[in-house]
């Protein structure tokens, strides 16, 4: 079930962890949409999303700390979506799991950091060009929410994967 080591073959690629997180949210989202909105156990989510259980455990914890899901402890515990899917932005998820989205540190809002060897940021041509592309891209991705994922009218409503 574990994906082993599928070398990310580099930048721009979403991490495996992020894919697991998305799949987990899809499972929870589907469940919430059903008739019986009961909490799902980690085990159940792991099974339905083909995710290593112990790893998923960690991921759900992070999602909970970020307020995206809620947990119920004890005997008949489990996880539920806290917010409505439209209120779970994919961009926030990306930042949470995979870190800053910007192609350059010096373009990141939340994780800004001046580039060590850059003497004049305003005049940096690299920054300038990537900024334009980045802003356009950001608009696209900032508008995505879990609801878009869930809706995505698919033939078979599969969680399968990535």
Partner DNA sequence: AGGAATCTCGACCTTGCCTGTCGGGTTTGC
Partner DNA sequence: GCAAACCCGACAGGCAAGGTCGAGATTCCT
Residue 68, burial from CB neighbour count under 10 angstroms (0-12, 13-18, 19+) = buried
Give 43 or 162: the residue with its C-beta nearer to its own copies: 162
Which residues lie closer than 8 Å to 98 by C-beta, 6 or more apart? 14, 15, 17, 18
The torsion angles phi and psi of 11, rounded to 5 degrees, stand at -20, 160
Supply the minimum distance, in Å, between the C-beta of residue 73 and its own copies. Answer: 29
| Part of the chain binding its own copies (CB under 8 A), chosen from 36-44, 63-71, 75-83, 97-105 | 97-105
Q: With binding defined as CB under 8 A, does residue 110 bind its own copies?
A: no
Binders of DNA in range 49-108 (CB under 7 A): 52-55, 57-58, 60-61, 64, 71-79, 98-99
Q: What tokens were used for 91?
A: 């961009």
Give the separation between CA 26 and CA 23, rounded to whole angstroms: 5
Give 53 or 128: the residue with its C-beta nearer to DNA: 53
| Part of the chain binding its own copies (CB under 8 A), chosen from 21-29, 32-40, 64-72, 78-86 | 21-29
Q: With binding defined as CB under 8 A, does residue 87 bind its own copies?
A: no
Which of DNA, its own copies, none lies near 74, with the C-beta cut-off 5 to 8 A by kind? DNA
- Do β-strands 69-72 and 78-81 pair in parallel, antiparallel, or remain unpaired? antiparallel
Binders of DNA in range 101-160 (CB under 7 A): none
Q: What tokens were used for 41?
A: 């156990």
């Amino acid at each position: 079930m574990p994906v082993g080591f599928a070398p990310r073959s580099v930048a721009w690629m979403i991490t495996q962890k992020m894919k697991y997180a998305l799949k987990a949210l899809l499972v929870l989202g589907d469940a919430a949409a059903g008739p019986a909105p009961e909490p799902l156990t980690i085990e159940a989510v792991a099974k339905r999303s083909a995710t290593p259980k112990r790893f998923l455990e960690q991921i759900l914890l992070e999602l909970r700390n970020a307020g995206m899901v809620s947990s119920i402890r004890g005997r008949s515990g489990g996880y539920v979506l806290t917010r409505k899917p439209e209120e779970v932005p994919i961009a926030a998820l990306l930042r949470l799991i995979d870190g800053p989205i910007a192609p350059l540190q010096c373009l990141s809002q939340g994780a800004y950091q001046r580039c060590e060897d850059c003497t004049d940021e305003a005049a940096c041509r690299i920054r300038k060009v990537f900024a334009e592309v980045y802003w356009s891209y950001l608009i696209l991705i900032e508008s995505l929410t879990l609801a878009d994922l869930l809706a995505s009218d698919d033939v078979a409503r599969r969680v399968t994967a990535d």
